[in-house]
């Protein structure tokens, strides 16, 4: 495990300690969780960009049109009193 030193104003450090305490975490664990979220978002963006680079704008627009068409179709609604057989 590595150690990272971060310089922040005293007031901000105090507030981070309060936030961590309210979540029943140490400041270290709070920062570790933030790092995990930031890295997951970064990885997601990289994956999205890699997939987008393999596609074409025309194919992307066609997929969006397909989704719009699906949402435009009326769906059968089922409430608690509708027997399943009536939905087929």
Domain-located, residue 44: yes
Does the model's pTM come out above 0.75? no
Question: What is residue 81's DSSP assignment?
Answer: T
pLDDT in tens, 6-65: 999 999 999 999 999 999 999 999 999 999 999 999 999 999 999 889 989 898 899 899
What is the domain count for the chain? Answer: 1
Query: What is residue 72's predicted lDDT score, i.e. its pLDDT?
Result: 79
Whether 63 maps to a domain, the answer reads yes
CB 67 within 8 A of CB 59: no
Q: Token pair 């930031």 is at which residue?
A: 38
pLDDT of residue 87: 54
Segments forming the whole domain that contains residue 14: 10-71
Q: Is residue 85 part of a domain?
A: no
Residue 86 lies in a domain: no
> What is the pLDDT at residue 78?
63
In order of 6, 13, 24, 78, the CA distances from 10 in angstroms are 12, 5, 21, 57
């Amino acid at each position: 495990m590595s150690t990272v030193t971060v310089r922040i104003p005293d007031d901000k450090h105090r507030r981070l300690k309060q936030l961590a305490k309210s979540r029943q975490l140490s400041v270290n664990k709070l920062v570790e969780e933030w790092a995990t979220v930031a890295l997951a978002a970064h990885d997601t963006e990289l994956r999205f960009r890699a997939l987008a680079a393999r596609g074409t704008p025309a194919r992307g627009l066609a997929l969006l049109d397909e989704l719009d068409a699906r949402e435009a179709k009326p769906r059968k609604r089922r409430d608690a009193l509708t027997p399943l057989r009536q939905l087929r």
